[in-house]
């Protein structure tokens, strides 16, 4: 994700105790209202923001829930949407390369390189072995976002197809898909390649999500997989980032998600925006 991160919010999920309390909670609320102010082109002073701030206001959540009801296929971004973490940043930190990778990410956010170049440079810094990836998955399991498991359970019960589309890596996302009961054939993500000794070699540049505009390409592929007339299938994309927003078209609708990270540009441009998946379960 290359768009600017305005705030990081790590909610209590799956019974994990929230480490943040007191001043952290206040700072989080303040950051969220600042995001809303920036998204609307207003200064903090104009909004009279104080520490008694209110959370980011959802945009048309009832209409968004109706769109979900009408959709045949619902696609999710993974990092900061289905899970609260950003996988490649967590892996970099685990491998002792966090600060180096953060510098490249900042450059990439400035638009000085393509998504694929940024991915290549970051992985060449981390150079994780297969063993490190295995240890990372065991020692740092991803944390599901609040209410995502219930929401996906409802989607499946309603007969909808669910897909994960990520610029992250399949080896990190597969355990998440399994926990949510999503077939691995319904996952579009990047693939790390290792040599015969298990050392990092490169990544598969043929995967659509390894490129700019890759999420839209993946949704085009999903549409072509359907037995019904492609134009009759309603697809909705849910995510926190600009790359998710830009998946329409070929997706029919986009719903922004700000339960973990609020990105001012996405909040401003999204017609529909929610901060908790429960908001999509009551049309």
**Rounded Cα distance, 54 and 57, in Å:** 8
- CA separation, residue 44 to residues 7, 16, 241 (Å): 15, 33, 23
Output the pLDDT for position 102. Answer: 82
Output the pLDDT for position 29. Answer: 42
Output the pLDDT for position 192. Answer: 92
Q: Is the CA virtual torsion 86, 246, 235, 58 positive or negative?
A: positive
**Whether residue 77 lies in the annotated active site:** yes
- Residue of 77, 170, 240, 276 marked catalytic: 77
- Residue of 79, 170, 240, 276 marked catalytic: 79
Architecture of domain 61-85+143-280: 3-Layer(aba) Sandwich (3.40)
Output the pLDDT for position 54. Answer: 54
Residue ranges of the domains in the chain?
Answer: 61-85+143-280
Output the pLDDT for position 153. Answer: 94
* Average pLDDT for runs of 10 along the chain of length 283: 37 34 39 41 36 66 92 93 89 91 74 80 92 93 93 94 92 93 94 92 88 89 78 89 88 93 88 93 78
Output the pLDDT for position 228. Answer: 65
């Amino acid at each position: 994700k290359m768009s600017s991160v305005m705030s990081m919010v790590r909610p209590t999920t799956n019974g994990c105790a929230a480490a943040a309390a007191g001043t952290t909670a206040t700072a989080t609320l303040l950051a969220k209202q600042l995001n809303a102010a920036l998204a609307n082109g207003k200064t903090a002073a104009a909004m009279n923001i104080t520490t008694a701030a209110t959370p980011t206001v959802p945009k048309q959540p009832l209409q968004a829930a109706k769109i979900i009801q009408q959709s045949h296929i619902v696609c999710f971004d993974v990092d900061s949407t289905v899970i609260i973490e950003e996988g490649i940043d967590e892996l970099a930190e685990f491998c002792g390369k966090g600060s180096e990778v953060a510098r490249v990410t900042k450059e990439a956010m400035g638009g000085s390189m393509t998504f694929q170049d940024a991915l290549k440079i970051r992985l060449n810094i981390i150079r994780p072995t297969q063993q490190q990836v295995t240890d990372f998955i065991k020692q740092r399991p991803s944390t599901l976002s609040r209410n995502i498991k219930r929401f996906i359970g409802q989607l499946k019960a309603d007969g909808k197809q669910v897909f994960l589309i990520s610029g992250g890596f399949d080896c990190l996302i597969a355990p998440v898909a399994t926990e949510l009961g999503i077939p691995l054939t319904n996952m579009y993500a990047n693939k790390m390649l290792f040599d015969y000794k298990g050392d990092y070699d490169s990544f598969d540049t043929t995967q659509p999500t390894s490129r700019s505009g890759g999420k839209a390409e993946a949704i085009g592929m999903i549409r072509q997989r359907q037995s019904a007339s492609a134009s009759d299938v309603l697809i909705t994309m849910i995510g926190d980032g600009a790359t998710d927003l830009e998946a329409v078209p070929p997706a029919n609708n986009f719903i922004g998600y700000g339960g973990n990270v609020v990105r001012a540009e996405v909040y401003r441009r999204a017609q529909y925006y929610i901060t908790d998946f429960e908001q999509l379960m009551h049309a």
